[in-house]
């Protein structure tokens, strides 16, 4: 199955062993990195928000372009992040 079939999202980013792959509509790399750090700093296995602009105001995100995320934290800083508009 496609990762976009598992979670209703517009895009997904997978970072495994430092190799980042994306599918669909995802934010720029610096935003993905900031979201991954935010999720990891939360010290939870799964981080989610419906409003990235509220969680990460310093990124000055347009909620019409990217609104929410669901991040599955994996060992060693690896992750899967789904994004919605």
- Could you report the per-residue pLDDT of 27-42, keeping only the tens digit for each? 999 999 999 999 999 8
- Could you tell me the maximum CA-CA distance found in the chain, to the nearest angstrom? 35
| Structural domain containing residue 75 | 3-84
Q: Residue 8 pLDDT more than 70?
A: yes
Give the pLDDT of residue 42.
87
Please report, for the domain that includes residue 34, its CATH number: 3.30.450.270
Q: Which residue has the higher pLDDT, 8 or 81?
A: 81
How many domains is the chain partitioned into structurally? 1
* C-alpha closest to that of 16 among 31, 35, 36: 36
Give the pLDDT of residue 50.
94
- Could you report the per-residue pLDDT of 49-81, keeping only the tens digit for each? 999 999 999 999 988 888 999 999 999 999 999
Whole-angstrom CA distances from 20 to 32, 35, 58, 60, 71 are: 10, 14, 23, 23, 14
Q: Residue 4 pLDDT more than 90?
A: no
């Amino acid at each position: 199955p496609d990762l976009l079939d598992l979670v209703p999202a517009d895009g997904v980013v997978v970072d495994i062993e430092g190799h980042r792959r994306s599918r669909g509509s995802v934010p720029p790399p610096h935003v993905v990195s900031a979201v991954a750090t935010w999720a990891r700093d939360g010290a939870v296995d799964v981080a989610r928000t419906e409003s990235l602009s509220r969680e990460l105001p310093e990124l000055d995100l347009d909620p019409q372009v990217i609104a929410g995320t669901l991040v599955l934290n994996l060992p060693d800083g690896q992750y899967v992040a789904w994004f919605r508009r």
